[in-house]
Structure 1
Amino acid sequence: MAALDPVAQRDLIIAKLNTPDTLLVACLCAAWCGTCREYQQAFDALADSHPEMCFVWVDIEDHGDWLDDHDIENFPTILIQDEQRPRFFGTVLPFANILERMLGDPATLGSNTPQAPDLRAHLMATNAL
């Protein structure tokens, strides 16, 4: 399954995030960004290969209010969040193998990533849309 749309597939996102130990893997991009458009297919392929995780494609132009005053200036920006905290938040080179390596062993992801939006809370909120 490709990365989920935070509006059209909201119920599926909530169901996945309510499953214990599910990582949220969000790509924060913009429709106008050529790099994002090129990266989306690779991100979707990663979503297909990691069905135990919740991959979401978030257009920052449509959902900027979910970013808690964080400005996304470089693309793609990736947010990886567990049930309690962000594990990674930053720009990555637009190559699937980089994110694949990060996800290969989630235990290696940071345990204290400050200054990240709580996207999981926005996706789970009943009034998120």
Structure 2
Amino acid sequence: MPSLILEENNRNDLLQKMRDDTWVVACLCAAWCDVCTSYRAGFDALASEHADKLFVWIDIEDRADLIGDFDVENFPTILIQRGDEVAFYGTTLPDPRIALRLLNAHADSTAEQRAAQSVSNPDYRAWQEERNLRRTLSA
């Protein structure tokens, strides 16, 4: 199954799938971006290979009404989240294997390890408030 595309009419369905124990990998992109266009097939392949995770494709310009002011410096920008814990937010190289490595690294860590990271990393602390996709879509 390819990644889900955030649309105006599926926000509530998406929120229901973002349970506390579900790892979410969101790609924030723009329709005009050639890098995003070429990255999409690999991202969709990851979604198909990892059906136990929720992969979401978000066009930041078309869905600005739903996601607000998520700061995107470059494309692709990846958000990895479980429940209300944002584990990663940032630009990556346009290689889906990088998103998978990031996801696996966080999914393989313990809740205690992720909590220790939140205390020691100012970016991580900021992501919890500013980049929480579940909370943003719930508003």
Please list every run of 5 or more consecutive structure 1 residues that lacks an aligned counterpart in the other structure: none
Could you list the structure 1 runs, at least 4 aligned residues long, displaced by more than 3 angstroms after superposition.
8-12, 65-70
Q: Which of 120, 125, 132 is equivalent to 1:114?
A: 125
| Identity among equivalent pairs (%) | 44
1:38-70 CA-to-partner distances (Å, cap 9, x unmatched) read 001100000111111111100010223454533
Gaps of 5+ in 2: 119-123
CA RMSD across the alignment:
2.2
TM-score (norm 2): 0.77
Contact 2:28 2:60 survives alignment (8 Å): yes
Q: Per residue, is there more helix in 1 or in 2?
A: 2
Q: How high is the TM-score relative to the length of structure 1?
A: 0.82
Q: Distance in 2 between matches of 1:108 and 1:77?
A: 22
Counterpart contact for 1:26–1:55, Cα < 8 Å: yes
Answering whether residue 22 of structure 2 is matched by residue 22 of structure 1, we say: yes
Amino acid at match of 2:88: F
CA–CA distance in structure 2, aligned partners of residues 14 and 71 of structure 1: 21
Asked if structure 2 preserves the Cα contact closer than 8 Å seen for 1:67 and 1:118, the reply is: no
1:1-129 aligned within 5 A: 1-7=1-7, 8-18=9-19, 20-67=20-67, 69-105=69-105, 106-108=107-109, 111=114, 112=118, 113-116=124-127, 117-123=131-137, 125=138
